[in-house]
């Protein structure tokens, strides 16, 4: 059996559309060998190349449509190194989006907490420590501030320009918990005849102070007979002996003064020492 016939039989077994092309080329060979003197071997080589190309195309088409072809590998399996292990699945669309999307923005949390009981040896630059034995408390005051009042329950200070005021207080008048003490203090603030404060509005935050639960109050108001809005920030923390300590700052509600107030409040909270005895 000649090489051409073997190729034709091979294409017929593959049920390939190339059969008609091979038959036409075979007829051309017979005419050529009797008429134009072309080399039969050259024509056979051309036919073999043509059949090889057509067979490759058929194999590719069969593989594309999911039909295993001789020499191919099973679907979704690798032949690298002959291991035959399944290919790793691609990432799902959800995984891709999660990897490329920005971090989800969260809502505002509770009020920022001060550090646990501060060390007496540390002090912020531009501040100095003041001890009040009668109040069993030590606290930091900005340099240059002036003490306005000091007695058995409170110590009051003001800035040189009188724009900011500060007070540290220890009291049992309204109870021994931060909840009862803050409620009693707010009731006093809302009594305009006693406090001279009007239109008092309060936002209360839970926080930590000196390593324990505390309450932080933001109080908006104005003095009676005046229209200028003011802001008072105040933290309540309970002591060991049933006392409640209060630290507050008060100023006019302008953006610059409020920004300064929050810095003063944060620094003073970080350096507040409560339950200070004579030997502390």
Averaged pLDDT in 10-residue chunks for the chain of 280 residues: 50 47 50 49 60 56 43 34 35 32 34 51 88 94 96 96 97 92 96 97 96 96 97 96 95 97 97 80
pLDDT number for residue 19: 45
Which SS3 state, helix, strand or coil, does residue 34 take? helix
Which SS3 state, helix, strand or coil, does residue 134 take? helix
pLDDT number for residue 84: 35
pLDDT number for residue 230: 98
pTM of the model: 0.59
Return the DSSP state at 37: -
- Give the span between the Cα atoms of 17 and 28, in whole angstroms: 19
DSSP bridge pairs for 230: 221, 252
Encoded tokens for 172: 């049992």
- Give the span between the Cα atoms of 231 and 244, in whole angstroms: 22
With beta carbons less than 8 A apart as the criterion, state whether 196 and 272 touch: no
pLDDT number for residue 50: 66
pLDDT number for residue 15: 46
Q: If you compute the radius of gyration of the chain from its CA atoms, what whole number of angstroms results?
A: 45
Encoded tokens for 220: 């908006």
Name the nearest CA neighbour of 14 among 60, 78, 45. Answer: 60
pLDDT number for residue 241: 86
């Amino acid at each position: 059996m000649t090489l051409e016939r073997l190729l034709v039989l091979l294409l017929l077994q593959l049920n390939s559309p190339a059969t008609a092309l091979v038959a036409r080329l075979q007829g051309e060979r017979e005419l050529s060998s009797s008429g134009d003197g072309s080399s039969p071997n050259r024509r056979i080589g051309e036919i073999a190349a043509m059949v090889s190309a057509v067979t490759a195309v058929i194999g590719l088409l069969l593989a594309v449509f999911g039909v295993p072809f001789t020499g191919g590998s099973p679907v979704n399996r690798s032949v690298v190194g002959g291991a035959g292990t399944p290919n790793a699945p691609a990432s799902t669309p959800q995984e891709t989006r999660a990897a490329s999307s920005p971090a989800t923005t969260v809502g505002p949390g509770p009020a920022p907490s001060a550090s646990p009981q501060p060390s007496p040896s540390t002090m912020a630059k531009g501040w100095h420590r003041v001890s009040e034995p009668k109040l069993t408390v030590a606290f930091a005051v900005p340099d240059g501030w002036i003490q306005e009042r000091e007695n058995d329950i409170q110590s009051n200070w003001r800035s040189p320009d009188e724009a900011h005021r500060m007070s540290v207080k220890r009291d049992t008048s309204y109870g021994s918990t931060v909840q009862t003490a803050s409620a009693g203090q707010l009731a006093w603030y809302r009594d305009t005849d006693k406090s001279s404060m009007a239109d008092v509005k309060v936002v209360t935050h839970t926080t930590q102070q000196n390593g324990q639960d505390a309450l932080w109050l933001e109080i908006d108001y104005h003095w009676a007979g005046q229209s200028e809005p003011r802001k008072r920030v105040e933290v309540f923390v309970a002591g060991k002996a049933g006392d409640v300590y209060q630290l507050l700052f008060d100023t006019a509600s302008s953006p610059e003064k409020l920004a300064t107030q929050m810095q003063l409040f944060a620094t003073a909270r970080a350096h507040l020492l409560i339950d200070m005895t004579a030997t502390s």
